[in-house]
Amino acid sequence: MGYWNPTYECMSREELKKIQSERLVSTVQRVYQNVPASRERMQQINLEPGDIKSVEDLKNLPFMTKQDLRDYYPFGLFAVPLSDIVRLHASSGTTGKQIVVGYTCKDLDTWSEVIARTLVCAGATRESVVQVAYGYGLFTGALGVHYGAEKIGASVIPISSGNTKRQLQLMKDLGTTILACTPSYALVMIDELR
């Protein structure tokens, strides 16, 4: 197991808690100022941004549920203007109204950094060949793995989902060393191999 970013991945619990607390305080202030629904929830319980000083105070924040994401569809819970959003993704909506997620440039940088850490922790290196068999549609997973793998310098096969025979052929021909897909699809691939 290796580290992509030892500075963050190997810090002490105390250092981690300090950074998490600083970021929580900043996030709560930003949300309070920019998301009316969140501000209203906090005001209902007489909570002000200054009351949140560390991760220990996380328990004092009001909950948001998946239903809230549906109720404020599509952009009602965004903390930045739509002009700052560079990518939009959405859930399938199979269990109700779909959920929309917006990403800023900074969000995408953070996302690829987190996935790079995850991949390296799982053994990925610059020599890895990562076959991304998640769908590249509105689902966020495929592009997250894709950009995280590129960030570490791995080769990416952006095959998307489906066409199992082709998946297996390219896996063999291109020397896939890491498969990124749902566990159920991996089982489908194993059945097809048999």
The model's pTM is 0.88
Query: What confidence score (pLDDT) does residue 128 get?
Result: 98
Per-residue pLDDT for 92 more than 80? no
Q: Kindly indicate the confidence band of residue 140, based on its pLDDT and cuts at 50, 70 and 90.
A: confident
Torsion angle defined by CA atoms of residues 124, 125, 127 and 129, in that order, rounded to the nearest 10 degrees: 30
Q: What is the DSSP pairing of strand 87-90 with strand 100-103?
A: antiparallel
Residue 1 in 3-state DSSP? coil
Query: What confidence score (pLDDT) does residue 183 get?
Result: 95
Contact (Cβ atoms closer than 8 angstroms) between residue 124 and residue 149 = yes
Residue spans of alpha helices (H) in the chain: 6-9, 13-34, 36-44, 66-71, 105-121, 141-152, 164-174, 183-193
E strand or H helix at 180: strand 178-180
Residue 131 in 3-state DSSP? strand
Query: What confidence score (pLDDT) does residue 96 get?
Result: 79
d(CA 118, CA 6): 13
Query: What confidence score (pLDDT) does residue 93 get?
Result: 75
Over residues 60-87, the pLDDT tens digits come to 999 989 889 989 999 999 999 999 999 9
Contacts of 165 (CB under 8 A, 6+ apart): 192
